[in-house]
Amino acid sequence: MKDAVDRLTPLGLMVLTLLRVDDMHPYEMMRLMRIRHDDRLVTITNGTMYHTVARLEKSGLIVEVGVDRDGNRPERTTYSVTDAGVAVALDWVRRELVGIDTPAQFRIALAESHNLDRDEVRDRLGIRHTALTAYESALTEGYTKGRAKGVPLQYLVEVERDLALVRADLTWSEALIARLADDDIPWGTDTAPTDRYLAQREAARA
């Protein structure tokens, strides 16, 4: 299982979480991702999508469930996620949700964190918050010592920026952890599809 998680790419993760909602063919997945602006997070091209789908099928994380032809359009193969695929996707999100040194993966894990129970998300964000706090302390100490020793600012501007980003991240994560304690906030894959999501799916099928 660990090897499968290690081999899973960000695009593969997003394919698995899409198929957890409903069976789809690759073209629909691409259209839906673009409608939802998921291309902010991952690069989506015909080549990368079909290569990713082929790899996921070969690994047993998705399976073919049907082939359809609509008019003069090419045949489209529909896929479903397997239990193994769901497990790998959730483990990937769990792993990346605590990371502080892989920001691109963390953004994707955060975007897909609703696939985990809210309590687990709070716990994992808490672990990350603790790591961020330690990192902020180390940065602050290093910056303070550098300035005290007369290190010119031009050599510390990157550290200043890093400190600003870490402190903003700490403020944001603390607030999100607190908000997730409110059970009145909808969370999880069991919530009813929104009208917006249903409209996006309809547009992706067009």
Per-residue pLDDT of the chain in tens (206 residues, 90 and over written 9): 669 999 999 999 999 999 999 999 999 999 999 999 999 999 999 999 999 999 999 999 999 998 886 656 678 899 999 999 999 999 999 999 999 999 999 999 999 999 999 999 999 999 999 999 999 999 999 999 999 999 999 999 999 999 999 999 999 999 999 999 998 888 887 766 777 877 888 887 76
Distance, CA of 186 to CA of 98 (rounded, Å) = 22
Q: Residue 205's CB: how many other CB atoms inside 10 A?
A: 13
The token pair at 143 is 């910056």
E-only strand ranges, 51-164: 62-68, 76-81
Assess contact for 85 and 61: CB atoms under 8 A.
yes
Cβ-based neighbour number of residue 36 at 10 Å: 17
Residue with tokens 């660990």: 2
Check if CATH label 1.10.3720.10 holds for domain 2-99+108-112+189-205.
Answer: no
Q: Which amino acid is at 62?
A: I
